[in-house]
Amino acid sequence: MKYLRWPPKIKVLEAAGAIADERIKLIDDTHALITSSTGERTYVVYVDPEKREACSTDNGTVYRGYVGYPILSLLMLKGVLTYDERIGKALKGIPWKELNEKFKKYDLVLEEIKKIASEKGVPPEELEAYKEEVYSQVRRLRLRRNDSECRNFNILH
């Protein structure tokens, strides 16, 4: 079983936004369905922190092999990663896909996210500190990729 790569840091913020948007439907202790920011897609997510295994059907996880934001969201909900409700509220309603397509670079998207969060009362340095804190937690996890859990769940549901 391969290890998942670490995600782009901005995915921490996207994960917090998904929670604030209430786009996560818990199925059982290890599985969830997470709807994309546009509502067009639903991702199957599996996380077992004790086994240090995860999978997700989002593009970042499937095609790039990193811990995608759906996995991060589920880890936040399970209390494995820090979720800050105030920051989540500042990220609520952000059209992630639209911004990614518009700016084409995560650095530019991040600058736009900082502006939006700042307008909602969370200064850029606080957003940055949260992102770095959670990212360091992710780096310590070292999750193995277990795609069979997502495939099997998809077949059954």
Q: What is the mean pLDDT of residues 80-94?
A: 97
Any domain includes 1: no
Q: What is the three-class DSSP state of 80?
A: coil
Any domain includes 150: no
Any domain includes 123: yes
Any domain includes 65: yes
Q: What is the number of structural domains in the chain?
A: 1
Taking 60 as the threshold, does the pLDDT of residue 84 lie above it?
Answer: yes
Any domain includes 3: no
Any domain includes 151: no
Residue range of the domain that includes 43: 10-142
Q: Residue 154: its pLDDT value, please?
A: 59
Q: What is the mean pLDDT of residues 69-78?
A: 97
Any domain includes 41: yes
Whose CA is closest to 131, among 79, 89, 98, 87? 87
pLDDT tens-digit readout, 109-148: 999 999 999 999 999 999 999 999 999 999 999 999 998 8
Q: What is the mean pLDDT of residues 56-60?
A: 94
Greater confidence (149 vs 45) lies with 45
Q: Residue 153: its pLDDT value, please?
A: 67
Any domain includes 149: no
This prediction has a pTM of: 0.94
What is the rounded distance in angstroms from the CA atom of residue 141 to the CA atom of residue 103?
30
Q: Residue 150: its pLDDT value, please?
A: 82
